[in-house]
Amino acid sequence: MTKNKLIGPFVQLLTMDKLPLKGGLKDSQLEIIPNGGVVVCDGKIVRTGNFDQLYSAYSGRLTVDHIEGAMVGMPGMIDSHTHICWAGSRANDYSQRLAGKSYPEITQSGGGIGDTVSKTRAATSDELEAVLAERATTHLKNGVTTIEVKSGYCLNTIGEVKLLEVIRKANQKLAVDLIPTCLAAHIKPSDFQGSPSDYLARVVIELLPEIKHRGLSKRIDIFIDKGAFTSEEARVYLKQAKQMGFELVIHGEQFTAGGVAVACELGAASVDHLEAIKDQEIQLLAASNVIPVALPGASLGLGCQFAPARKLLDAGCSLAIGSDWNPGSAPMGDLLLQTAILGIFEKMTSAESLAGITIRAAMALGLNDRGILKKGFLADMIGFPVSDSREILYHQGSLKPSAAWKRGAIFKAGEKGITGKQEKGWYFENGSFSR
Ligand SMILES: [Zn+2]
């Protein structure tokens, strides 16, 4: 008895295959299979092609996930940058920002990241797991099947381990994949007595070995900018982390220069933000293998400029797009909407925008098993209830997927429960996935 399953027919199947990792993309480079189908076995893609031909080729020796009505299929979206494991709300900060207050003024009046840190430290693991699961499920309903999640809201050894343990536990229960990153180097916490370098040295001595020992994360992130860490401080920290075998990620060039040069020098996987990047740093990135990640959600949350996506692509850089979903600067958490907005302001082609949240985002996370619909890749797919792939960005984020498959297991809008990743069990047993 074969375990093969044929999913389709899709009016159009957008594979995101055969695209270069770097540089600008034309829409004519998109591989679109009309009347497409995907054969899946054990959570992985076996074949893609014409639905009817696939059905005949297996002469019925497969089960069929038959799609009723028009649907355009594409790889599940990948969000390569989030901070969705936090407690509390920063609505008060936001209202003050709307009223014209500056970030230092907001911080002085008890807001800012310090507020999130004290509430996240005080929260129990169960409370944090519940809010993380809720946000991750919202993302999944919106078509995001892999989510990077950073720690960084406890900023001490015990708390950062707590956050990474929460992320691991949620990942074991949820259908969506959570990719954990240690961001203990977010800022120096206000209760740490000593310099920023002393704080980073403490992280290296106390926290990083614990993360290794428990197998909690393979990735280390640091915020290089004014008010966070300098390039010099970061360089020492990152070199030590790299020696311990961690992959490096950098928050850079959000407000001031520094992060990109360090990222290129030390061979980081990605450098994220880039709202303030200058031409010289764009050239550095173009000549490197570091993936730039634009975070339009932070620009929308702060009311400031976008990363120069067009310039980066024209210079020959790759470009992933992340939501930066966090309580302070990017509370929205809608990756497709943000991608559509960045695309129209920066004049990105549909191919460039969609690659930024699929294959290029996978590369930013060092994951070479997803982001494309092709043989051997994970059967992580989403379907939009339209007949033309251009509709996806045209609706600027208001068009949501009506079905998604995680490792080949389907969950549909309106159905009870998430059946993805069944080997890990169901997380929402009472139908909280329905909408
Ligand atoms: Zn961030």
Residue 426 has pLDDT above 60, yes or no: no
Q: What is the mean pLDDT of residues 86-106?
A: 93
Confidence of residue 188 (pLDDT cuts 50, 70, 90): very high
Confidence of residue 295 (pLDDT cuts 50, 70, 90): very high
| pLDDT of res. 110 | 85
Q: Is cis: bond before 9, omega within 30 of 0?
A: yes
Residue 103 has pLDDT above 90, yes or no: no
Predicted structure pTM score: 0.94
CA of 411 to the centre of ligand 1 (A): 29
CA of 108 to the centre of ligand 1 (A): 22
Residue 427 has pLDDT above 60, yes or no: no
CA of 377 to the centre of ligand 1 (A): 28
| Angle of the 279-286 helix axis to the 259-266 helix axis, nearest 10 | 20
Bridge partners of 223, per DSSP, are 251
CA of 76 to the centre of ligand 1 (A): 22
CA of 414 to the centre of ligand 1 (A): 32
CA distance to 207, 302, 328, per residue, from 89 (Å): 27, 16, 8
Q: What is the mean pLDDT of residues 334-363?
A: 98
Question: Which residues have C-beta under 5 Å from ligand 1, the single-atom ion?
Answer: 324
User: 53: Cβ–Cβ under 8 A, 6 or more apart, which residues?
Assistant: none
CA of 252 to the centre of ligand 1 (A): 10
CA of 251 to the centre of ligand 1 (A): 6
CA of 70 to the centre of ligand 1 (A): 37
User: What span, in angstroms and rounded, lies between the C-alpha atoms of 11 and 386?
Assistant: 8
CA of 83 to the centre of ligand 1 (A): 6
| pLDDT of res. 78 | 98
> For 106-123, how does the pLDDT look when each residue is reduced to its tens digit (9 = 90+)?
888 889 999 999 999 999
Owner of token pair 């929460």: 166
CA of 324 to the centre of ligand 1 (A): 5
User: What span, in angstroms and rounded, lies between the C-alpha atoms of 49 and 59?
Assistant: 15
User: What span, in angstroms and rounded, lies between the C-alpha atoms of 110 and 92?
Assistant: 10
> For 11-58, how does the pLDDT look when each residue is reduced to its tens digit (9 = 90+)?
999 999 999 999 999 999 999 999 999 999 999 999 999 999 999 999
Cα–Cα nearest to 181, from 291, 306, 79 = 79
> For 311-327, how does the pLDDT look when each residue is reduced to its tens digit (9 = 90+)?
999 999 999 999 999 99
